[in-house]
Structure 1
Amino acid sequence: MTVEGRQRVDKWLFFARVVKSRTLAAKLAQGGKVRVNRNKIDQASYQIKVGDVLTITLERRILIYRILETGERRGPAPEARLLYEDLSPPEEPRAIVAVGPVRDPGSGRPTKRDRRALNALDDQN
């Protein structure tokens, strides 16, 4: 039973490429990770329409999408982007973390070239 202009939220999440499979979309909706117009939903069969605002809580980010169109299929990414308007706040830039200690060039352990030069000096004496 489908109402004209409406679509199941799990199908729309799958068509819009928010998740990789419809099963994952259903689990996302049933787990309370999706809000429609600020109302938490717990059913994958919840009917959404054009103009609704979805707030989707993923593992490391929050997506806010305004639905512009209901999908008919899971197409390529450019086609999927036509289904929604992204209202999400921009991501904060990540700080660059050095893996190991940072040294100035020329300080610390000698390189192979430096060792050869030292050995050459020792051989001259």
Structure 2
Amino acid sequence: MSAAGGGSAGSIRIDRLLVYLRFARTRSAALALIDTHALRRNRKHVLRASEQVRIGDVLTIALGSGVRVVELLALPPRRGSPAEAASHYREVDSDGLDRKGQMTIGASSPAPGILSGDPEDFS
């Protein structure tokens, strides 16, 4: 069992990961992201909250009026401070994206409890 409490070694549920990395305040808010198709893992829409993510996966998240693309560097064991959460992923800039096969993802207004990506949401 992984340190993050996942069922298989080296993976964690995506809804739990979103909370641990502070992209959603609760697992219900993470589920809202999934239900509104505002989340992709490795270019594919996430359809279930129980989907497993691993180190190296790339998440595309539509938050507020923007889109964040992050690569998972480590599995967080728990929800920590914003600085601790940010140490588990790296932002992928638009210059570093492989445009071949990329489909656009539209940003929608976040459901209650979902962070907008603004710095004041992380305090």
Q: Which has the higher contact order (CA 8 A, sep 6+)?
A: 2
TM-score (norm 1): 0.67
Which 4+ runs in 1 deviate beyond 4 A?
none
Q: Which residue of 2 aligns with 1:118?
A: none
DSSP-derived class of the 2:48 partner: coil
| Larger Rg over CA atoms | 1
CA-CA distance at 1:59 after TM superposition: 2.1
Equivalent residues in 2 for 1:10-21, closer than 5 Å: 10-21=15-26
Q: Distance in 2 between matches of 1:76 and 1:48?
A: 21
Q: Deviations over 1:69-90 (max 9, x none)?
A: 1111110011001110111449
Cα RMSD for the two superposed structures: 1.6
Give the number of the structure whose residues are more often helix, by fraction: 1
> What code does the residue aligned with 1:43 have?
R
Overall identity of the aligned pairs, in %: 31
Task: Report the number of matched residues.
Answer: 90
1:34 corresponds to 2:39: yes
Alignment gaps of 5+ in structure 1: 91-125
TM-score (norm 2): 0.68
From 22, 25, 34, the counterpart of 2:27: 22
